Amino acid sequence: PRSKGWWLDELFQYQGFWMSSFPIRGSMLINDHFKPRPTDIIVATSPKCGTTWLRALVFSIINRAAFDFNDHPLRKLNPQELLPSPRLLSTHIPYSLFPKRMTDDTSACRFVYICRDPKDVLVSKWHFSNKLRPKEVPPLSLEEAFDLFCKGVSHYGPFWDHVLGYWKASVESPKKVLFLTYEDVKKEPLGCVRKVAEFLGVPFSQEEENRKTVEEIVKLCSFESLSNLDVNQSVAKRSERPVSNSDFFRKGEVGDWVNHLSPEMVEKMNQITEQKLQGIGFNFH
């Protein structure tokens, strides 16, 4: 269906997920041509779950030795230019759409995934879509956005199936897929940064701990710090619509849904989440 707002792209159902033609072609290209390297790090997310934040954190973790923390090192957030290896790649593509040579071979590459309470994802997406909407397109109501999201009709949706794919992979191959939540990173940023570093095989040394490098990284990647830098330049340039860096920074909070969703909406969304994630050993609370 062709719909409105950020949902205005023409979405197609491809291998169980709603996607626009660009990532569908992208996933076909990955399937046919992409040669993963064992050192590749893939930051994977569903849109609006903290992509920008996680990219900045992982980039800082792996490049910290080359950083002068006083010199705004994230201004150079272009992994290919700064350091060719390890490659840091970022995608919204669902886990099941990657070729087996990437997912079944434990030494092929690693994934760091972040997800977020779908109620906050919906609110974030709704604001984002209306911000990016061309003038001639009427705003998308929250009710319409809610309905589409619950039906799974949103970029890379159904949201819950996206989460499930990465969750299952993280349980089956914990050395290959690290599963994080936005809520955990907000609550325990230092612990999460240490966890990511360990997962990537670059744990913080005692000397770095003494120098408070973990704290420096968290500060460098904070909402305030990132929103003042042009870290999403490449995304903005690629887009056909006018996207600015500031569009990726709205509130950066957990639980903003209380200010937007009706009790009925909350109940419905929680019900879908319970149903979809039943018995897997993970939920958003």
Cα-Cα end-to-end distance for the chain: 33
- Give the contact letters, 3-32, x = binds to ligand A3P (CB under 6 A), - = no: ------------------------------
Stretch that binds ligand A3P, among 17-25, 78-86, 154-162, 249-257 (CB under 6 A): 249-257
92 is catalytic: yes
**Position among 42, 62, 226, 261 found at the interface with ligand A3P (CB under 6 A):** 226
**Position among 7, 53, 126, 167 found at the interface with ligand A3P (CB under 6 A):** 53
Does 60 bind ligand A3P (CB under 6 A)? Our answer is no
Bond before 189 cis per omega within 30 degrees = no
Question: What residues are paired with 19 via a beta bridge?
Answer: 12
How far apart are the C-alpha atoms of 281 and 171, rounded to whole Å? 10
Does 245 bind ligand A3P (CB under 6 A)? Our answer is no
Q: Supply φ then ψ for residue 72, to 5 degrees.
A: 45, 60
- In the set 33, 72, 92, 260, the catalytic residue is 92
Instruction: Kindly state the tokens that stand for 263.
Output: 């009790």
Question: In the complex, what is the shortest distance from the CB of residue 222 to ligand A3P, in angstroms, rounded to a whole number?
Answer: 5
Does 248 bind ligand A3P (CB under 6 A)? Our answer is yes
Instruction: Kindly state the tokens that stand for 85.
Output: 């290896």
- How distant, in Å, are the alpha carbons of 49, 216, 255, 260, 281 from that of 285? 16, 29, 11, 19, 12
How far apart are the C-alpha atoms of 248 and 151, rounded to whole Å? 25
Does 99 bind ligand A3P (CB under 6 A)? Our answer is no
For the segment 106-145, give every residue that binds ligand A3P (CB under 6 A): 120, 124, 127
Q: What is the DSSP string of 46-74?
A: -TTSSHHHHHHHHHHHHHGGG--GGG-GG
Does 221 bind ligand A3P (CB under 6 A)? Our answer is yes
Does 41 bind ligand A3P (CB under 6 A)? Our answer is no
CB atoms within 10 A of CB 32: 8
Question: In the complex, what is the shortest distance from the CB of residue 120 to ligand A3P, in angstroms, rounded to a whole number?
Answer: 6
Residues engaged in binding ligand A3P (CB under 6 A): 45, 47-53, 120, 124, 127, 221-223, 226, 248-252, 256
Give the residue numbers marked as catalytic: 92
